[in-house]
Amino acid sequence: MSSSTPIAGHPDLTEMRSRYERASETPTAQVADGLVVLGGLFVALSPWITGFAATTPSLALNNLIIGLAAAALGLSFAAAYHRTHGIAWTCPALGVWTILAVFVMSGTAMTTSTVLCNIIGGAVLVLAGAATMAASRMSTSR
Protein backbone atom coordinates (compact mmCIF):
# COMPACT_ATOMS: atom_id res chain seq x y z
CA MET A 1 0.00 0.00 0.00
CA SER A 2 1.29 3.41 -0.86
CA SER A 3 0.76 6.36 1.38
CA SER A 4 -0.76 9.33 -0.38
CA THR A 5 -2.19 12.61 0.71
CA PRO A 6 -5.95 12.85 0.90
CA ILE A 7 -7.64 14.57 -2.01
CA ALA A 8 -9.17 17.16 0.31
CA GLY A 9 -5.74 18.64 0.93
CA HIS A 10 -4.62 18.66 -2.70
CA PRO A 11 -3.64 22.19 -3.88
CA ASP A 12 -5.34 21.78 -7.26
CA LEU A 13 -8.65 21.07 -5.57
CA THR A 14 -8.56 24.40 -3.78
CA GLU A 15 -7.76 26.21 -7.04
CA MET A 16 -10.56 24.40 -8.87
CA ARG A 17 -13.09 25.26 -6.18
CA SER A 18 -12.09 28.91 -6.24
CA ARG A 19 -12.40 28.94 -10.06
CA TYR A 20 -15.93 27.55 -9.88
CA GLU A 21 -16.75 30.01 -7.13
CA ARG A 22 -15.59 32.90 -9.34
CA ALA A 23 -17.64 31.50 -12.24
CA SER A 24 -20.77 31.38 -10.10
CA GLU A 25 -20.32 35.02 -9.11
CA THR A 26 -20.43 36.35 -12.69
CA PRO A 27 -23.59 38.19 -13.73
CA THR A 28 -24.18 35.70 -16.54
CA ALA A 29 -24.14 32.73 -14.18
CA GLN A 30 -26.39 34.49 -11.67
CA VAL A 31 -28.93 35.38 -14.36
CA ALA A 32 -28.82 31.83 -15.72
CA ASP A 33 -29.37 30.34 -12.25
CA GLY A 34 -32.25 32.73 -11.62
CA LEU A 35 -33.83 31.84 -14.96
CA VAL A 36 -33.55 28.14 -14.14
CA VAL A 37 -35.42 28.75 -10.88
CA LEU A 38 -38.07 30.96 -12.51
CA GLY A 39 -38.45 28.63 -15.50
CA GLY A 40 -38.86 25.67 -13.18
CA LEU A 41 -41.49 27.46 -11.11
CA PHE A 42 -43.34 28.46 -14.28
CA VAL A 43 -43.35 24.87 -15.55
CA ALA A 44 -44.51 23.62 -12.14
CA LEU A 45 -47.37 26.13 -11.89
CA SER A 46 -48.37 26.32 -15.58
CA PRO A 47 -51.13 23.69 -15.37
CA TRP A 48 -52.98 25.85 -12.85
CA ILE A 49 -52.05 29.17 -14.44
CA THR A 50 -53.54 28.21 -17.81
CA GLY A 51 -56.12 25.74 -16.54
CA PHE A 52 -55.05 22.48 -18.15
CA ALA A 53 -54.64 20.65 -14.84
CA ALA A 54 -58.19 19.29 -14.99
CA THR A 55 -58.10 18.20 -18.63
CA THR A 56 -54.66 16.52 -18.58
CA PRO A 57 -53.86 15.50 -14.99
CA SER A 58 -50.90 13.32 -16.00
CA LEU A 59 -49.27 16.25 -17.82
CA ALA A 60 -50.03 18.51 -14.85
CA LEU A 61 -48.31 16.09 -12.48
CA ASN A 62 -45.39 15.75 -14.90
CA ASN A 63 -45.01 19.54 -15.10
CA LEU A 64 -45.19 19.87 -11.33
CA ILE A 65 -42.44 17.30 -10.76
CA ILE A 66 -40.19 18.52 -13.59
CA GLY A 67 -40.67 22.17 -12.61
CA LEU A 68 -39.89 21.61 -8.94
CA ALA A 69 -36.82 19.54 -9.87
CA ALA A 70 -35.57 22.31 -12.16
CA ALA A 71 -36.19 24.97 -9.51
CA ALA A 72 -34.26 22.88 -6.96
CA LEU A 73 -31.42 22.52 -9.47
CA GLY A 74 -31.33 26.28 -10.02
CA LEU A 75 -31.20 26.90 -6.29
CA SER A 76 -28.40 24.38 -5.88
CA PHE A 77 -26.44 25.99 -8.73
CA ALA A 78 -26.79 29.37 -7.05
CA ALA A 79 -25.91 28.09 -3.57
CA ALA A 80 -23.10 25.62 -4.28
CA TYR A 81 -22.00 25.80 -7.90
CA HIS A 82 -18.62 24.25 -7.16
CA ARG A 83 -20.39 21.10 -6.00
CA THR A 84 -23.28 20.96 -8.46
CA HIS A 85 -21.74 22.05 -11.78
CA GLY A 86 -21.37 18.41 -12.80
CA ILE A 87 -25.11 17.90 -13.04
CA ALA A 88 -25.83 21.08 -14.99
CA TRP A 89 -26.55 18.93 -18.07
CA THR A 90 -29.77 17.73 -16.44
CA CYS A 91 -31.42 21.13 -16.74
CA PRO A 92 -31.44 21.21 -20.56
CA ALA A 93 -32.56 17.57 -20.53
CA LEU A 94 -35.51 18.50 -18.31
CA GLY A 95 -36.31 21.34 -20.72
CA VAL A 96 -36.30 19.04 -23.73
CA TRP A 97 -38.58 16.60 -21.91
CA THR A 98 -40.92 19.47 -20.99
CA ILE A 99 -41.24 20.37 -24.67
CA LEU A 100 -41.78 16.75 -25.74
CA ALA A 101 -44.10 15.83 -22.86
CA VAL A 102 -46.95 17.98 -24.12
CA PHE A 103 -47.05 15.95 -27.33
CA VAL A 104 -46.46 12.60 -25.64
CA MET A 105 -48.86 12.97 -22.71
CA SER A 106 -51.66 15.31 -23.84
CA GLY A 107 -53.38 13.09 -26.34
CA THR A 108 -56.52 14.71 -27.74
CA ALA A 109 -56.77 17.24 -24.89
CA MET A 110 -53.93 19.34 -26.32
CA THR A 111 -54.71 23.06 -26.45
CA THR A 112 -52.74 26.05 -27.67
CA SER A 113 -52.10 27.30 -24.14
CA THR A 114 -50.87 23.86 -23.05
CA VAL A 115 -48.47 23.63 -25.96
CA LEU A 116 -47.22 27.22 -25.56
CA CYS A 117 -46.65 26.85 -21.81
CA ASN A 118 -44.61 23.70 -22.23
CA ILE A 119 -42.62 24.99 -25.21
CA ILE A 120 -41.84 28.34 -23.57
CA GLY A 121 -41.05 26.80 -20.17
CA GLY A 122 -38.96 24.05 -21.77
CA ALA A 123 -37.07 26.52 -23.94
CA VAL A 124 -36.23 28.66 -20.89
CA LEU A 125 -34.88 25.57 -19.11
CA VAL A 126 -32.84 24.50 -22.14
CA LEU A 127 -31.30 27.95 -22.70
CA ALA A 128 -30.69 28.77 -19.04
CA GLY A 129 -29.30 25.28 -18.43
CA ALA A 130 -26.97 25.67 -21.40
CA ALA A 131 -25.79 29.01 -19.98
CA THR A 132 -25.14 27.32 -16.64
CA MET A 133 -23.14 24.62 -18.39
CA ALA A 134 -21.20 27.27 -20.31
CA ALA A 135 -20.22 28.99 -17.08
CA SER A 136 -18.55 25.81 -15.86
CA ARG A 137 -16.76 25.39 -19.19
CA MET A 138 -15.47 28.96 -19.14
CA SER A 139 -14.24 28.65 -15.57
CA THR A 140 -12.18 25.54 -16.33
CA SER A 141 -10.63 26.85 -19.52
CA ARG A 142 -8.83 29.77 -17.84
**Closest C-alpha among 121, 119, 101, 122 to residue 56:** 101
Phi, psi for 5 (deg, rounded to 5)? -75, 145
pLDDT of residue 45: 96
Q: At what angle do helices 112-141 and 11-24 cross, to 10 degrees?
A: 140
Q: Please write the tens of the pLDDT for every residue from 68-121.
A: 999 999 998 888 776 777 888 999 999 999 999 999 987 777 888 899 999 999
- Looking at residue 4, its pLDDT comes to 59
N-term to C-term CA, the chain = 36
Q: What pLDDT is stored for residue 142 in this prediction? A: 47
What share of residues in the chain are helix, strand, coil (percent, to 5)? 85, 0, 15
What is the C-alpha separation between 58 and 49, in angstroms, rounded?
16
